[in-house]
Structure 1
Amino acid sequence: MSEKISDLLERAAAATVPVVRGIDDGQLSLPTPCGAYDVRALAGHLYRVVINFQALAAKRDTDLSQEPVRLEGDWRGGFAEETRGLIAAWAAPGAEDGTAGRMAMPARTVGAMALGDLVVHGWDLARATGQPYDTSGARGSLDVVGERFAELAPTARKMGVFGPEVPVGADAPPLERLLGLTGRDPHWTAAGAAGTAGASGAAGAQGVAGA
């Protein structure tokens, strides 16, 4: 039996929430591996994703093109609270049943999209701010996201959500394979991105981690 999306989200949150809490105000203008997003925009975008996908879990529609959340007040604590809300929303009876969203996608696929944003953008923010990103407890999450994103990748690339796949070794860890699939260089550094446009992609509007 497949693991519940809520359990996978909980494991992914254990890796991502500490990264968001660890972002210093002085780092908000730093570049990230996610295209034109700086740390401020990407953190606000991920915050918005966490809110929007609570509505989708409850089979309510939501505007996925909304602007990122403004990072004001205790936004780090707010992100952690909304992430707990996301986990609870996908743990509710019936959350994984039927379809969700205007695209009428299978609800479990939609949940995997939220999971993917939490994982991949968590890595983006960690890499941008020089923090570790510990996915040792999230292997199941990486497997589910990798499988779903492999199915979504051709369409995502046509829409400009994923960049061209970055080849990684056949024996690369699951996270590196996932990053390469979304068009990211697993070895990206802020120093290497200086003076470049970085990778393209706007995961947020579609709820799929953009490259």
Structure 2
Amino acid sequence: MSPAENHRNRAAAFGGLVAGVTDWSAPTPVAGWTARDVLTHLVSWPAAFLASAGIDLPPVPSEPVAAWTSHAARLQALFDDSPDLVISGTPMGPQPVAELLDQIYTGDVFLHSWDLALASGQLPPLDEETSAMMLAGMTTIEPMLRDSGQYGPAVHVGADRSAVDRLIGFIGRDPDWTPS
């Protein structure tokens, strides 16, 4: 699947979750974060990251569904219209914007889909194949991920659990989390 197709699918799945949220102040499996915080994170950090590389994105509305719809569309336009645009000025060096966003952003949408789904009582759209693939890739760079501060300590999950549960544990979440 191309980076553009991958983003289109992950953004649509996340958009379905956004549309199903009824309480934006609901707690999530990310300690101290609400459902709105998950959405704000996914809308704000890519814009700041791209701005640091000289790509300015238009602002998004404040209403959550409109914010996600606008944000997903502006990033999809980058994937569709500028797949070979090389950006520099990032810690990863010069890379095509579509490949870079696919590596660091689309996976974040996938992971945070679990957070938003659980916070809002919806089914998480994580599949075993993608989860196993991500877990295998992330395991090889675990020290860098932990040192970045973006992932907390892993939560021990037995080897007999699903790939989704093992991935969620790897990124520092309790796969058995429920809202209190």
Q: Taking structure 1 as the reference length, what is the TM-score of the superposition?
A: 0.67
- Letter of the 1:8 partner, please give it: N
Candidates 150, 164, 171, aligned match of 1:175: 164
Task: Point out which structure has higher relative CO (alpha carbons under 8 A, 6+ apart).
Answer: 1
The match for 2:117 is: 126
Name the CA shift for 1:93/1:160 in 2 (closer, same or farther; >3 Å): closer
> Aligned equivalents of 1:44 and 1:124: distance in 2?
13
- Letter of the 1:60 partner, please give it: A
RMSD across aligned C-alpha pairs, in angstroms?
A: 3.1
Following superposition, the deviation at residue 110 of structure 1 comes to 4.6
Equivalent residue runs for 1:46-85 within 5 Å:
46-52=42-48, 55=50, 60-61=53-54, 72=62, 74-85=63-74
The match for 1:4 is: 2
Whether contact under 8 Å (1:16, 1:133) holds in the other structure is: no
> Aligned equivalents of 2:151 and 2:35: distance in 1?
19
> Aligned equivalents of 1:175 and 1:134: distance in 2?
10
Following superposition, the deviation at residue 71 of structure 1 comes to 7.1
Name the CA shift for 1:153/1:99 in 2 (closer, same or farther; >3 Å): farther
Following superposition, the deviation at residue 182 of structure 1 comes to 0.7
> Aligned equivalents of 1:146 and 1:88: distance in 2?
28
Structure 1 residue runs of 5 or longer lacking an equivalent are 64-68, 192-211
The match for 2:151 is: 162
The match for 1:33 is: 29
The match for 1:42 is: 38
Following superposition, the deviation at residue 176 of structure 1 comes to 2.1
> Aligned equivalents of 2:60 and 2:175: distance in 1?
28
- Percent of counterpart pairs with the same letter? 27
Q: Size of the alignment, in residue pairs?
A: 174
Structure 2 residue runs of 5 or longer lacking an equivalent are none
Whether contact under 8 Å (2:151, 2:171) holds in the other structure is: yes
The match for 1:199 is: none
Q: Taking structure 2 as the reference length, what is the TM-score of the superposition?
A: 0.77
